Structure 1
Amino acid sequence: MRAEPFAEADLDCCAFLGGRLRLWQPRHGYRAGIDPVLLAASIPARAGQRVLELGCGAAPALCCLGVRVPGLALTGVEIQPAYAALARRNLAQNGLTGEVLEADLAAPPAALKAQSFDHVLANPPYFEEGQRSAAPDAGRELALAGPLPLAGWVALAARRLAPRGTATFVQRVERLPELLAALGAHLGSLEVLPLAPRAGRAPRLVLARGRKGGRAAFRLQPPLVLHEGATHLEDGESYTNVIQAALRDGAPLAFAADDRGKGRV
């Protein structure tokens, strides 16, 4: 748990979305990779809607979504005070309207319980406590392996959704059965979009979505390929066109099965 504020010397300001977004992050601690950016790109939000991120950290996903879709009402929930403060700073720095509630997801505050949202997104810890060697930084460790089970994340997301609202999660493929079971207990119209590192390689991550009150049949989408080529042969980026557009241009990632852009297999 990181409670004390970060010193300025312990932070750096990083460019995302081709420089359209700038985020303060700790030099040592949890730092955002491409996962929250792709998660944000997959949210089908429209101007005027309300969006909630559970466990927002320094708010990279929330900020990416807010920059891509202007006019959203953004709310984040973060248990670690130092990261919650960074999230507020990042929202303000990028001209985004939103609030960050400092709270434990296992005991959500009344201010959150009183609200409903059109979309909920989350990047829950990828590991269960005690299943791996702990990270030396306490803040990073909590982001990687938290005490709240996936079922708790999904249940909270479902409770806070307005009718027909969506909840979208990014998670390791090994935990997909657990995630689907939780989603199926609360939501309908389930969809899974696997993220494969390269063509012909097994997916490592998935984007999974459910809709409150949804009745459509389960859909397993074709894998979305992250990198060109069979192997990494030289320095520099090798993202496919679809991923490059999401990471650098703020383009959306289509979740629909009939939208087979370049980079799908």
Structure 2
Amino acid sequence: MREILRSNDVVYLSWVSALLADSGIEAVILDLHMSVMEGSISAIPRRMMVNDDQYEEAMTLVKAAEREFSRKPDFLLNGRVVLHQPKTGYRSAIDPVMLAAAVCEKPVGKVLDIGCGVGTAALCYAYRVPGNRVMALEEQPKMAALARENVAANGLDNRITIVEGDLLDAPKVLEPGSFQHVMANPPYVAAAQADPSMDLVRAASHVEGHAGLADWISFAHARLVHKGSLTLIYDPRRLDELMEALRGSFGGVIVFPLWPSIGPEQSGKDAKRIIVQARKGVRTPARICTGLVLHEADGSYTSAAERILRNGEALRL
């Protein structure tokens, strides 16, 4: 076997391991002065090894990983949540933070995050609602690996479980009818309208793949208990499709716009995102809320947005 990488950054090692696994390359990680990794301390550099016949391909992937992965973490909720994420391609913005803020706290129970990416919404929700456990589903192995490392970095292993899998072939651990709340940030760009030059990781997060919006809604419905809540953040231009997908299975729909800014020059501008919440098996009529303005005229966050994004407060719909 040959060494392709030496590092004591366990998050980076996990990212590279997932990248190699995507290409069918199995890596072995050893401590520099020990024969096995288990039982070592993080300060000791670790060696990543691959078979001789896979060395050249593995080195190409390692160089790609160095370009993609950011060694410097980001911090959310005024430093309360640490987040490792790719340097390029998909990077969490405020959407998952707003999503997590809108999810119900009660009844106490399990929460499912569908398409969790690097775990942003799950982490923010777990910070705000310490009484509920979160399971988070992610299809992309690299993103799932980063999500697990982010959970560990925030000391939330006992409250957040990352599950790698496809919602069209649901892992058995995500049992039907077992979640009080489900949250999701589904891809909102139709495949026919996607930019073909978009980064693949970003495309997987933003562009609809083999699972369409109706599949996301159906999957969420099956996992929820009766009267359980579903909370989504989505593109308002597809609100009609979303309402059609909810029809018949969900009721009590709340539409909450997120307005970009205030001021005379912003008059008449459309909301860029909407938060939509609904409950399984209820018949309460839908309602449209005033919503939340995100930015002042000078571009700074409004005080209401600041309380959510910096202090981790709930977004009451």
Q: TM-score with structure 1 length normalisation?
A: 0.88
Q: Compute the displacement of 1:93 (Å).
A: 1.3
In 2, Cα distance between the equivalents of 1:23 and 1:163? 34
In 2, Cα distance between the equivalents of 1:145 and 1:212? 26
In 2, Cα distance between the equivalents of 1:28 and 1:202? 28
Partner of 1:73: 133
Partner of 1:205: 273
Runs of 4+ in 1 over 6 A off after TM superposition: none
In 2, Cα distance between the equivalents of 1:90 and 1:248? 19
Q: Comparing 63-72 with 9-18, which one deviates more in the overlay?
A: 9-18
Give the SS at the match of 1:167.
strand
Q: Comparing 175-184 with 4-13, which one deviates more in the overlay?
A: 4-13
Partner of 1:216: 284
Q: Compute the displacement of 1:66 (Å).
A: 0.4
CA offset digits 1:153-204 (Å, max 9, x no partner) = 0111111001221001111111111011111232111110011112333212
Q: How many residues align?
A: 248
Q: Compute the displacement of 1:244 (Å).
A: 0.6
Q: Compute the displacement of 1:132 (Å).
A: 2.6
1:49 to 96, 104, 109: 109
Partner of 1:4: 19
Structure 2 spans left out of the alignment, 5+ residues: 1-15, 21-61
Matches within 5 A, 1:26-37: 26-37=86-97
Give the SS at the match of 2:137.
strand
Q: Compute the displacement of 1:107 (Å).
A: 1.5
Partner of 1:183: 246
Q: TM-score with structure 2 length normalisation?
A: 0.74
Do 1:196 and 1:226's aligned partners in 2 also have CA atoms closer than 8 Å? yes
Residue 115 to residue 94, structure 1, CA distance change in 2 (3 Å): farther
CA-atom RMSD, angstroms?
1.9
Q: Does 1:241 align with 2:300?
A: no
Point out the structure with max Rg over C-alpha. Answer: 2
Do 1:46 and 1:69's aligned partners in 2 also have CA atoms closer than 8 Å? no
Do 1:47 and 1:71's aligned partners in 2 also have CA atoms closer than 8 Å? no
CA offset digits 1:109-129 (Å, max 9, x no partner) = 222135611110000112011
2:218 to 155, 159, 163: 155
Do 2:177 and 2:226's aligned partners in 1 also have CA atoms closer than 8 Å? no
Sequence identity (%):
39
Higher relative contact order, structure no. (Cα contacts within 8 Å, ≥ 6 residues apart): 1
Give the SS at the match of 1:246.
helix
